[in-house]
Structure 1
Amino acid sequence: MIRNGIVAGAAALLLAGCGTVGPDYHGPASALPKSSKATGAFVSAEHVPVTDAPLPPDWWRLYQDATLDRLISEALAANSDLRVAAANIRRAEAAHLGIEDERRVQTSVQGGPAYIKPSAIEEVMPGEPIPNVSIYSATAGISYQVDLFGQIERAIAASSAETEAARAAYDATRVTIVADVTRAYLDACSAGREIAIAERSIELQRRSTELTERLVRGGRGSSLDATRSRAQEKQILATLPALAGRRRIAAFRLAVLTGKPPADFAPEVDRCAAEPRLSRPIPVGDGAALLKRRPDIRAAERRLAAAVMRIGVATADLYPHISFGASAGSVGFLENPLSADSFKFSIGPLISWEFPNRDRARARIAGAEAESDAALARFDGAVLTALDETERALSIYGHDLEERAATLAARDEAARAAADADRLFRAGRTGFLTALDAQRTAIAADQQLAAIDTRIARDQVAIFLALGGGWEATNAP
């Protein structure tokens, strides 16, 4: 009678309209990624030498530098952060397999011996002693959970979305690693270029000192002029240790990024005397391509999908969980195992329902809905961050290019002034202090131009990083 009632109840629930509960996911419920302001051309690109061509997957090859290509290949093969991100993918995949297993038939086997000493019975029923006995028990069973309300299906979908988010996180790490390697390499080469400029300035100043000392010995100059020239030479010489240190730090950084100890840095990095230049204007595409390409946006969207699916997982707890199964076992004395009267069998549905405590299930649903709202907000935040980073990087790049143009013009004027002052000094038509000041101004202008070129090289890497390219060429593990 009881079993018939359980079956009737299960049938009534089936007829009441079972199915997958909770909301379906159809993409972010936000108009932000579809706005023309978000998907159109970048505002800051209007007066910057860039193109709307698509960003190539291997954008670093635009520099046409074999050493940079090799360093990036080594980093993508051995970087420790990428190895962590790959391990996170494997962990997510393992968790997904565990959840998928819940929709398969489950099996169980239990068994073991026991030794019984009936001492308590002897005290209650004195007389003939009851012997100690050894018994055994063994049970095997199978069960299958009927996913009437889609709880397992929703859990699998959420887990799948989390795995895809882990893959997007790997891609985002790859983007960062590529940009870090490029930035460190350009820093090392820029420092090498500034060292070369300083060394040329030192050599020029040394020749000026030698000329001044000859004039002093010939009675045409003062010892003060020679002292000033030597002081200028030493001032320039004092800038070399800092530049060499900057280049060495960049080399150490490159070694670590490629999975090596800092001491095992690439020797050719120390020999780089000029940063590579882009072969053509930066291809930036538009906002729509940016939002599709950025891995952090993809990761946020996949986490949003997982959060929506978990609402269905929580909602299914309002309904009964039904499992069908069967088991067979044997319990008896060890001296007479598997006798005819030791077997037992069972078959039928098992229904579990947290009733009447439905408030707990509704609280879990409310928590899942709140997490879904938070995930949507994080998705919108990722979209806004991507657009903001790109616009700012382009704007800074444009301003630095304008500053470079002015600095270049000033450097050219200072170089001409220094050449004129030196010619007049040699002809005896002006004093040495005038020539020295002109030369100091020209050297400072050279150094300022080199410094702004270093900034521009970093600006270019910042643009590539904001655009989110560099993960497409190689699939995540």
Structure 2
Amino acid sequence: MNTLLDRMLPPGRFALAVLVITLAGCTVGPDYQRPADQAAAQFMGQDALNRRDVRRPAPELDSWWKGFEDPQLTQLIQKVLAQNLDLAVAMARVEQARAVALEAGATRLPQGSVDGRVVEQRQSLKSPEGQLASGQPGFDRNQTISNIGVGASWELDLAGGLARGEQAALDEAQAAEASQAGVRVSVAAEAADAYLRIRGAQQRIQVAEQQIKNQSDLLGLVESRMAQGLGNQRETAQARALLQQARTTLPPLRTELAVQLNRLDVLMGATPGTYARDLAGAPTKGFDYNVPQIPGNIAPAQMLRRRPDVIAAERRLAASNERIGVATAEFYPKVSLGGILGFSSLNGGLFTEQAFQPQALLGLHWRLFDFGRVDAQVAQAKGVYAQALAEYRQSMLRASEDVENAVVTLTQLEAQRQDLALEISSRQAARQAASEAYQGGAVSLIEVLDEDRELLRSRDQLAELNANDARAAVATFRALGGGWTLE
């Protein structure tokens, strides 16, 4: 049967087309292999983590903030994750990368189109066409030229360059998704850090205000004893100076509180003063931070693999490997198939057998010589891969460093806080004894003031340690890559 395809492609050309289609799908360039993890078998701080005395079970890394057992903190982080503008920017980048990947995949598929045109023209008698046709019987200068056709084209991916390009775009989209997860991890940790610094400032303000009250009471006692002739002007001046010293601790703490409240509002995508004012009140009496237990049974490689920055670096490395194949494919010929089923007519009769005008195309493009351009492109792609490999390895090292630093900070702060709590108990007893001895006339006011000064310093340091210890737990979760769902 003499088909349309037989007429459009003679046997020799048809065989060539079949051969080209058979060869399509071969790929050039190196196949990607993920580098082996270079993490240590165990973190240096692993033993310290295992020795921690934490009674509550470890929270899930995906939502580590729930381990603080603070409903206000949980609600705050949920609001930040829903409203943060950095996250919105990262999500927009993900959508762009996904669209690029879809476009790269579409280039491997056949493309079709419908084109039509109707031209009304008055033929020039001075043009070559007009001079030739004007002498023919029935010539009409007023002409209507009609064309319509359905066309299709397909570039055969002989060397696999298009396939490599599609895979590179998919890898880059995955890198964008990992970067977006990294922003989520950072935003959640920043919000928790700001919240804990707010609570720490409030605790220290509470300590300072209690100390001011104690110093005011002591000053009243000194003034009363002086009125009774049992004191002197020096003791009164010293008590008043210590009271003023306690008051000077409040302004920097209130500044810290306001700065962190503003920081929290910006993290929530709002103007300072919008949401965080709800936290501006003083904490409840006896308020303390619940430091969650850090998971100690996670292997270092597992922790590094869930870190978004490491994932993003590895995906960019994979994409750069595919780009080598894209560049290498330029050494090979490019073959395309095309065809048009259309009609063309002058002055009517468009959809008739005489106006039927099919076309077939077998195209070939081969860069025989280009003075080293393709070689340069391949060399550049290999250089990009080498850079991406170094960046990936560096991200692994930095991830290990982050975890080590976070773990040692957490464990040492906890040890310091325990020792300081014992110190405060001793200083409270010493201060009480000195106050009673002073009232009985056994010691001078200097000893009472010294005990007050040391007690204030220790209590303020403990309040600061409470916040810093909780912040160290947040930093540990952040270093472990917690705060997002690993699929």
TM bucket, shorter chain: 0.7 to 0.9
Match of 1:92 in 2: 97
SS in 2 for 1:57: helix
Contact 1:53 1:284 in 2 (8 A): no
Cα separation, 2, equivalents of 1:421 and 1:303: 67
1:248 corresponds to which of 242, 248, 258: 258
1:83 corresponds to which of 88, 95, 100: 88
Match of 1:22 in 2: 29
Q: Deviations over 1:24-50 (max 9, x none)?
A: 12322xx4x1x5xx2422102333544
Cα separation, 2, equivalents of 1:79 and 1:59: 19
Cα separation, 1, equivalents of 2:199 and 2:402: 26
Counterpart of 2:367, as a letter, is E
Identity of aligned residues (%): 30
Counterpart of 2:77, as a letter, is I
Contact 2:149 2:340 in 1 (8 A): yes
Match of 1:47 in 2: 48
2:235 corresponds to which of 225, 231, 237: 225
Contact 2:335 2:365 in 1 (8 A): yes
Q: Deviations over 1:357-411 (max 9, x none)?
A: 3732222222212212211111111111100111122223333344434444443
1:177 corresponds to which of 184, 187, 191: 187
Contact 2:124 2:130 in 1 (8 A): no
**More displaced 10-residue stretch of structure 1: 243-252 or 457-466:** 243-252
Match of 2:387 in 1: 374
Cα separation, 1, equivalents of 2:432 and 2:126: 116
Q: CA deviation at 1:181?
A: 1.4
Q: Say if 1:279 and 1:11 are closer, same or farther in 2 by CA, change over 3 A.
A: closer
Scaled by the length of structure 2, the TM-score of the pair is 0.86
1:238 equivalent to 2:248? Answer: yes
SS in 1 for 2:236: helix
Counterpart of 1:40, as a letter, is A
Match of 2:124 in 1: 118
Q: Structure 2: any 5+ residue segments left out of the alignment? A: 1-8
Cα separation, 2, equivalents of 1:211 and 1:282: 52
Scaled by the length of structure 1, the TM-score of the pair is 0.88
Q: CA deviation at 1:343?
A: 3.8
Between the two proteins, the alignment pairs up a number of residues equal to 468
Q: Structure 1: any 5+ residue segments left out of the alignment? A: none
Match of 2:328 in 1: 315
Q: CA deviation at 1:319?
A: 1.3
Q: How does 1:295-306 map to 2 (within 5 A)?
A: 295-306=308-319
Contact 1:255 1:264 in 2 (8 A): yes
Q: CA deviation at 1:16?
A: 8.3
Contact 1:92 1:166 in 2 (8 A): yes
Q: CA deviation at 1:192?
A: 1.0
1:431 corresponds to which of 412, 430, 444: 444
Q: Deviations over 1:404-448 (max 9, x none)?
A: 344444434433332222121101122222322221222122212
Cα separation, 2, equivalents of 1:72 and 1:339: 70
Q: CA deviation at 1:341?
A: 4.7
Q: CA deviation at 1:327?
A: 0.7
* Coordinate RMSD, CA, aligned: 3.1
Cα separation, 2, equivalents of 1:281 and 1:342: 79
Q: Say if 1:4 and 1:356 are closer, same or farther in 2 by CA, change over 3 A.
A: farther
Contact 2:226 2:232 in 1 (8 A): yes
Contact 2:291 2:473 in 1 (8 A): no
Q: CA deviation at 1:457?
A: 2.3
Counterpart of 2:411, as a letter, is G
